Amino acid sequence: MTGLTYACDLDERDEITETNARNSPMLRLPAELRNQIYRYALTGGVAFILPKKFRFKGNPRTRFSKNAFGLRCVCRQLRAETYSIFYNSYTFDLTGFSNGHDATRELAWREISLIESIRIKQNEVLDMVRWGMAEESLHNPSLFWYARRSLRAVRRVEFDATEKMQTMYMVREVPKNLRIGFGKADLEVYINSWPLIHEIRLYQDTL
């Protein structure tokens, strides 16, 4: 009985999907134009990955953006069409966990493999500089441990730097070690610290 009911529900959903595709002005647009609209709607946002204990209505980071998430909740076809664009375009903030490895456990493998931009904790960055590409780093729970295994699509990494990290050593070593850890020479590294902006520009001018 349950199986028959479930099959009927699926048939009804498929019929609704087909009706939407025929009648929706949005879904009748060419695929290339729809993708361009999706990118305008979904680019530039931040998704906070939080442990379950921090997911409550009073936490502003658990509130959904009406513009981004609302679009994905309209219908199954829109959700399917925006799936990869959402994970490619948003920055995923992993700072709610003690380390990024634990954060990735909150997402499915397919979702993790699509993420291109992440924000991580300062202590993980320090771990990367400390461990480098030493053999021990393979057994360390820092970002190096899973960067090449899980977050293979990452192109951009950012983090907030405190005063003790605001040195030219950090400006030189951190981007280098992050690129080594991810195995990508063209990895974009953003250090969120206003006092460092001038120093970074001076350093880049000497390259």
Task: State the number of CA atoms in the 13 A half-sphere of 1 facing the CB.
Answer: 0
Per-residue model confidence (pLDDT) at position 56: 47
pLDDT of residue 92 exceeding 70, the answer is yes
Distance CA 81, CA 27 (A): 10
pLDDT, tens only, 99-155: 666 777 777 788 888 999 998 887 777 766 665 544 444 445 455 556 667 788 899
| Every domain of the chain and the residues it spans | 2-205
Question: Who's near 147: CB < 8 A, 6+ residues apart?
Answer: 154, 181, 182, 183
Q: Is 53 left (phi over 0), alpha (psi -120 to 50) or beta?
A: alpha
pLDDT, tens only, 16-63: 666 766 677 888 889 899 888 888 888 778 888 776 655 545 444 445
> What is the pTM for the complete model shown?
0.70
